[in-house]
Amino acid sequence: MRLVLYQPDIPQNTGSILRLAACLGVAVDLIEPAGFVITDKGLRRAGLDYLPAATLTRHDSFAAFEAWRRQAGGRLVLVTTRAAMPYTEFAYRPGDWLMLGRESAGVPDAVHDLAEARVVIPMIPGMRSVNVAVAAGMILSEALRQTGGFPATGPAE
């Protein structure tokens, strides 16, 4: 299972997602261009000393990512406010690629249409969206729970 960030805008959110992924042993794919320089201090501040433990693959474009993903296999599962399927009712698989869109605009229609599945976080009426790092934690936790993908627990060092 992998997390995919589509052209992220905010370095602190990306850093938080990389920290989450490092702690849970999940790889992250980042589709560029990002709205910030990847070495930005905000990214380092949010990711703290966990960033070296993160497995990050950068892709120059969505087309480059999609070609790479199709060769690797697995379903593209898009987290979007335009989905009908609540994320808790979706049946995840270990090889799923969980994509989160830009904080400012989500993903373009062409990317939305290519996703094999789309899930939504149910919210009360009038709310637009939850923070992308929070969404990543919610969706990834449910996906790992369903697939038995959480790492074995042990004492903290």
Residue 103, amino acid: E
Burial-class residue 73 by CB neighbours within 10 Å (0-12, 13-18, 19+): exposed
Two tokens, residue 132: 């992308």
For residue 33, the tally of other CB atoms under 10 A from its CB is 9
17 is in an annotated binding site: no
121 is in an annotated binding site: yes
Q: Which residues pair with 2 in a beta bridge?
A: 27, 97
- DSSP string covering 101-154, please? -BTTTB--HHHHHH-SEEEE----TT-----HHHHHHHHHHHHHHHHT-SPPP-
Detail the residues annotated as belonging to a binding site for S-adenosyl-L-methionine: 79, 101, 121, 129
Detail the residues annotated as belonging to a binding site: 79, 101, 121, 129
